């Protein structure tokens, strides 16, 4: 995961259920943190850390949709948010965030 002004970068958007340790790298010029919010009341975050530093965040992902965001100031509103999907299989491309297209 990378944190910059103002975006959260993820290497992939589809994950299999399981426990992961995400390393959030602050590649920006100011302080950031990584927070993950998801099903079942999951809400975990790193401490706030400076550019050039990194923090680990260990979370157990269940099937569903998770938001990764920066909780510092108004960074989330400025674009530091992204969504990942945890599925029961590894078939990518079925994001619940996508509206279902008609006509098929």
Q: What is the binding site for Cu ion (CB under 5 A)?
A: 32, 70, 72, 75, 80
For Cu ion, which is the closer residue by CB, 25 or 75? 75
Beta carbon of residue 81, minimum distance to Cu ion (angstroms, whole number): 10
Task: Find where tokens 């809400």 sit.
Answer: 43
For Cu ion, which is the closer residue by CB, 50 or 89? 50
For Cu ion, which is the closer residue by CB, 1 or 80? 80
Beta carbon of residue 50, minimum distance to Cu ion (angstroms, whole number): 11
Beta carbon of residue 58, minimum distance to Cu ion (angstroms, whole number): 20
């Amino acid at each position: 995961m990378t944190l910059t002004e103002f975006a959260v970068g993820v290497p992939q958007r589809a994950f299999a259920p399981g426990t992961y340790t995400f390393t959030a790298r602050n590649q920006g010029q100011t302080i950031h943190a990584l927070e993950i919010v998801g099903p079942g009341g999951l809400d975990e975050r790193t401490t706030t850390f400076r550019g050039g530093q990194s923090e680990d965040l260990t979370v157990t992902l269940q099937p569903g949709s998770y938001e990764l965001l920066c909780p510092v100031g108004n960074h989330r509103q400025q674009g530091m948010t992204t969504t990942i999907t945890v599925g029961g299989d590894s078939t990518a491309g079925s994001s619940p965030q996508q509206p279902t297209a008609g006509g098929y």
